[in-house]
Amino acid sequence: MRVRVFSGVQPSGNLHIGNYLGALKNWVAIQRDYESIFCIVDLHAITVYQDPAELKRKIRETAGLFLACGIDPAHSSVIVQSQVTGHAELAWMLTCVTPLGWLERMTQFKAKSQAQETIGDGILQYPVLMAADILLYQAGIVPVGDDQAQHLELTRDIAQRFNSLYGETFVVPATKLPLVGARVMGLDEPDKKMSKSATGANHAVGMLDPIDVARKKIMRATTDSQPAIVWDTLAPGVENLISIYRAFGEVDEATARQEFEGLRYGDLKKKVADMVVESLKPIQQRYAEITADPAYLDGILQSSYERIAPIAQSTVELTKTRMGLYTR
Ligand code: AQP
């Protein structure tokens, strides 16, 4: 059996270059080496309130962007999480083997619950649902950004705990991080991860930002009070811009050092902006073509669903059998 790859993105806002460099670019690079399943994780998005009409629109937008970024539906399945009931079913069964303390220790839970007036149970349960997403397909490899590495460790712990309680059931997955771009920082606050839910106008470059807007955001990025680059003492904002450049252009460190050492910040930003907008232009062009025909996207989602539904069904059945639940 070919090793399966699984990963997902929440349709909880505008996809940004952090999501692209941390996850999607890596997916595109490895998709043909594995049996690949990429998911719009809408059940995760509702762990915080989403406007229903907007969520519906974002699900399609995210699916369109997967394809526009280079996910090839001939090789990879593109699915919507809420269409496959096995995600929620398996999540419950895994909840019952997950100690509460494991969930309370998650840094994303701590950060997200601090920002809420009342803490929804969904924010606590989020990593169990993520474990279910991955284990449902018996995925061996999960390509994600650095912020999800802790949740992947938890997924491994849950799989191992289940296997030791009920017998070998789940493949224990490995995390795959990109070498550069695993944690893209906010352009306005380079000490914080670039995030869809951040509100600053210059925080993130969206994958669908108009080209002139994307350029302006990069030109306004926070650096420091030095005039030019000193490679051995890079301010976080400068390091972030160089990482973005390197990740988009697949530029190694030695080459980047040669290109950037001593360069004035204005020139650095211009080079980074050129690299980013030239990378975004063909993606945006493909996105416009893909979304011009809504039936095309519906067809991909449906054929992907039909391809993966038997895998999900068989894992749910196996898990129920292992636990002694009712099966026919
Ligand atoms: N800043 C980032 N740098 C690198 N990778 C990132 N990812 C997210 N932010 C960065 C990776 O993108 C994939 C999809 O992320 P997600 O939609 O599951 O949610 P998230 O990790 O919580 O990302 P956001 O953008 O910050 O969303 P919100 O604000 O809605 O929570 C994952 O592989 C993630 O690692």
- Residue 12 CB–ligand 1 contact under 6 Å: yes
**Which of 25, 58, 196, 217 is flagged as catalytic?**
196
- The preferred substitution site among 5, 7, 10 for testing ligand 1, maximizing ligand atoms within 8 Å of CB, is 10
**Which of 25, 58, 112, 271 is flagged as catalytic?**
112
10 Å Cβ neighbour count for 283? 18
> What domains lie within the chain, and their CATH numbers?
4-182+294-323 (3.40.50.620), 211-289 (1.10.240.10)
Residue 141 pLDDT greater than 90, yes or no: yes
Instruction: Provide the 8-state DSSP code for 186.
Output: P
Give the pLDDT of residue 225. 87
Q: Which DSSP string corresponds to 206-226?
A: BTTS-HHHHHHHHHT----S-
- State the average pLDDT over residues 168-181: 96
Give the pLDDT of residue 235. 95
User: Counting beta carbons within 10 angstroms of the beta carbon of residue 65, is it exposed (0 to 12), middle (13 to 18) or buried (19 or more)?
Assistant: buried
In this structure, what token pair is assigned to residue 275? Answer: 């690299």
Give the pLDDT of residue 328. 82
Residue 1 pLDDT greater than 80, yes or no: no
Give the pLDDT of residue 193. 96
- State the average pLDDT over residues 210-216: 98
Give the pLDDT of residue 119. 85
Locate tokens 């924010």: which residue?
123
- How do residues 231-277 score in pLDDT, each as one tens digit? 999 999 999 999 999 999 999 999 999 999 999 999 999 999 999 99
Helices (DSSP H) in 70-120: which residue ranges?
86-95, 100-104, 107-114
Q: Cα separation of 303 and 298, whole Å?
A: 9
- How do residues 100-133 score in pLDDT, each as one tens digit? 999 999 999 998 888 777 888 999 999 999 999 9
Give the pLDDT of residue 272. 98
User: Which residue puts its alpha carbon closest to atom 2 of ligand 1?
Assistant: 18
In this structure, what token pair is assigned to residue 239? Answer: 């390091």
Question: How does the average pLDDT of the chain come out, rounded?
Answer: 96
- How do residues 30-47 score in pLDDT, each as one tens digit? 999 999 999 999 999 999
Give the pLDDT of residue 111. 87
Q: Cα separation of 149 and 175, whole Å?
A: 7
Give the pLDDT of residue 323. 98
- Residue 195 CB–ligand 1 contact under 6 Å: yes
- How do residues 264-294 score in pLDDT, each as one tens digit? 999 999 999 999 999 999 999 999 999 999 9
Residue 272: closest CA among 205, 202, 182: 205
Which atom of ligand 1 is found nearest the CA of 12?
30
- Residue 246 CB–ligand 1 contact under 6 Å: no
- How do residues 64-82 score in pLDDT, each as one tens digit? 999 999 999 999 999 999 9
Residue 240: closest CA among 216, 272, 214, 215: 272
Give the pLDDT of residue 200. 93
Query: 7 CA to middle of ligand 1, Å?
Result: 11
